[in-house]
Copies of this chain bind each other. A is one copy, B any other.
Amino acid sequence: MVSYGFAAVASLLAFALAACLSSWVRQQPPGGKEVNRIGGLIAQGARTFLRREYTLLGWFVLGASILIILFLPRPFWQGSIKDNLWLAAAYIAGAVFSGFAGYVGMAVATMANTRTAEAATKGKVPAFLTGFRGGAVMGMAVVGASLLGVTGVTFLTKDPTITLGFSLGASSLALFAKAGGGIFTKTADIAADLVGKVELDIPEDDPRNPAVIADNVGDNVGDVAGMGADLFDSHVASLSAALVLAASLDGGLGKNVAMVFAFAAAGLVASVVGVMAARLKENGDPTTALNNSTYTTTGLYVVLSAVITIIGGFNWLYWGATMVGLLVGTIIGISSNYFTNDRRKPVEQVARVSQSGPAFTIISGISYGLASVFPALVGIGVAALLSFSLTNGIVPETITDALFGIAMAAVGMLSIVGMVISNDAYGPIVDNARGLVEMANLGDRALDITDELDSAGNTVKAITKGFAIGAAGLTVISLLGAFMAEANDVLGAHAMALIKGFDVMNPRVFFGLLVGSAVPAVFSAMLMLGVNRNAERLVDEIHRQFKQIKGLKEGKADPEYDRCITIATEGALKELIPAGAMAIAVTFAVGFIGGIPAVGGFLAGNIVSGLLLALFMSNAGGLWDNAKKLVESGSFGGKGSAAHKAAVIGDTVGDPCKDTAGPSINTQITVVSLVASLAVGLFALFSLF
């Protein structure tokens, strides 16, 4: 009970800080007319996107809820209607909580960008603070809502399995926000470039281009709302998996459950303090300032969680497991940075070979992207091995204690997620501010300041992105543990033989492993092909506007920005649904063919190939982006050279990899893992082999 209270209070603390920061940002000087006109269009477009997305999502959630009530966790005719209703309610709550946090964060971010631009005319310190605090609203809203939701569901139902439903709700939203937002943003980007730059030869960001606002909205939708939903999802999933395993160890809600809540609350408090501590001196380096906040948070979490272990009398080995998670997360972040940093060999090499033509840009980018998966996969593997070995034997004759250890490593890695999101959301805000400064001609000093702030955002982002992927990796491993715990619950209830694991020498497991590994590949292929199709639709609309709106080309009439946003949004959601449905349908097919062992293998294969492809795509995309920037900064011929043309092609290839497919794969894995855990009862009863 104490830990519920602690968690609830910590959540409210995060909300309070979010409210304070939001009102602080609102009180900053709003800037001139031109800045506000453009900023207003972007903010309105973002709202349009979210409204459409949430409307369609609403129907999706409704349909899924009906299916849950009918079939999950067990078919309703087996007398489980009460459980099914709770699960559906938790599912809806997960989607609503995550959607709410995303909406608030996005609203503040699109308000903060104009104010950051205005502040940049005054100096670096106010601009930094406005950007950072605007981003921190998202960070605080996300962690507050996720912890409050998980706490509330557990408190009300006393059954951690139901938190998996809450998690599935959050994943559904993340699927729409991340994959849908990813398709949206690249659709708008490609269509705007194709018509604007290639056909009409008007500059980028020219307001006559009907897709230009959609393009700017895309950055917010993908990088702010999408990333927030993604980390909301990972945070909730790590907590749910840990809670299911803890309850299985405790035989109900006991000491280990309490520890999960207490540790999560400690991470949240540490993030609150870290956000409040963020400071920059007038001659200071913004990268250092951001990193200092992260160090403050991390250090405080180490101390707080140790104190909690003493007070609560928890096992120190679990504390050790969370430390393993934190440490390995940092290592993965540093290695991601190596492959995408423009001062390191990979980016420099890709830029250099671009002089021989675009084919070399692509081949070398694919090669370094493939090589980049190694340190991260080894890091996740080592984290799992260490945290398991540390905690195995706490309870004799079971491995649940050690699987819980892995889950605690994931909780540890995600403990500072509030800080990570704050840093991440800072990036697109200052990036947008930089664009506004340029478009509204706010002067060279403001441009220099926002340039410096933007560059700090990019550096920090590479590290936090590594953290996010590592955390997702450990989380899905602990979801695999949660799946087994759920399976044994169901098997025990039907007096069937329990399973001890998923042996790859069992061909049902191996069958699942192979099929599971193919799913992320097909999923990402569907998303990327969806971007191409959707861009064609948007190009048609842009052509229509130029034909039908008189005076548009001459700048005498305004384009219908909203219509472009609507078309890109609806197309994005239309392309996303088959991909998501495919992943879920294959999960059910594997379960009904090979039963629980096949699903275990399926999840393992899905995790392995999903992490591989996500890392490959994210890092290759980031590398191509920075190689282009390196050439543009004057290396290997600079702007307009053959190397530049090749690097631009590389960047265009990398865009859907890093902004659409790569980051959506994490969500796909989580969705599939949760669906499998919730549907395990069906697979136990009906399967072919």
Contact = CB atoms under 8 A, between A and B. Distances in A.
A328 to B, nearest CB: 12
Given A359-B653, A507-B388, A380 B480 contact: no
Nearest to A194: B356
A475 to B, nearest CB: 14
Interface in A493-514: 500-514
B353 A532 contact: yes
B528 A367 contact: yes
Interface in A506-551: 506-515, 517-518, 521-522, 524-526, 528-529, 531-532
Determine the interface band of chain A, counting residues with CB < 8 A from chain B. 35 or more
Contacts of A652: 357, 359, 363
Contacts of A518: 373-374, 377-378, 612
B363 A504 contact: no
Contact of A403 (B360, B378, B385, B505): B505
Interface string A338-377: 0000000000000001001111101110111111011001
A99 interface: no
A71 interface: no
A674 interface: no
A689 interface: yes
**Chain B CB within 10 Å, residue with most, of A366, A371, A507, A522:** A507
**Chain B CB within 10 Å, residue with most, of A385, A501, A505:** A505
A600 interface: yes
Nearest to A652: B359
A401 to B, nearest CB: 12
B510 A367 contact: no
The oligomer's copy count stands at 2
A504 B359 contact: no
A484 to B, nearest CB: 6
A616 interface: yes
Interface in A374-425: 374, 377-378, 380-382, 384-385, 388-389, 399, 402-403, 406
A403 B357 CA distance: 49
Interface in A639-674: 649, 652-653, 656-657
A490 interface: no
Interface stretch (A48-56, A177-185, A602-610): A602-610
Contacts of A649: 357-359, 362, 649
Nearest to A388: B507
A571 interface: no
A477 interface: yes
A381 B504 contact: no
Contact of A506 (B359, B374, B501, B656): B501
A518 B613 CA distance: 10
A137 B229 CA distance: 61
Contact of A504 (B377, B601, B616): B601
Given A511-B385, A521-B373, A528-B367, A504 B653 contact: no
A665 to B, nearest CB: 11
Contacts of A194: 356
Contacts of A484: 505
Nearest to A527: B367
Nearest to A360: B532
A267 interface: no
Given A377-B517, A532-B364, A653-B359, A604 B504 contact: yes
A594 interface: yes
Contact of A524 (B370, B477, B605): B370
A135 interface: no
A477 B504 CA distance: 10
A364 B381 CA distance: 32
Given A378-B515, A594-B385, A612-B517, A367 B529 contact: yes
A134 interface: no
B515 A377 contact: yes
A91 B401 CA distance: 46
A620 B308 CA distance: 54
A656 B364 CA distance: 11
A681 interface: no
A559 interface: no
Contact of A368 (B357, B368, B505, B525): B525
Contact of A522 (B362, B371, B389, B613): B371
A389 to B, nearest CB: 6
Given A373-B521, A608-B609, A514 B378 contact: yes
A139 interface: no
A600 B653 CA distance: 36
Given A528-B363, A604-B504, A514 B358 contact: no
B508 A481 contact: no
Contacts of A512: 381
Contacts of A357: 649, 652
B388 A656 contact: no
Given A358-B649, A378-B518, A532-B360, A504 B402 contact: no
Closest 9 CB pairs of A and B: A501-B503, A359-B652, A388-B507, A381-B514, A501-B505, A381-B511, A370-B525, A371-B525, A367-B525
Given A500-B503, A510-B604, 13 more contacts: A357-B649, A358-B649, A362-B649, A363-B656, A364-B528, A366-B525, A373-B518, A377-B518, A384-B507, A389-B507, A399-B505, A406-B507, A612-B612
Interface of A: 194, 353, 356-360, 362-364, 366-371, 373-374, 377-378, 380-382, 384-385, 388-389, 399, 402-403, 406, 477, 480-481, 484, 500-515, 517-518, 521-522, 524-526, 528-529, 531-532, 594, 600-601, 604-605, 608-609, 611-613, 616, 649, 652-653, 656-657, 689
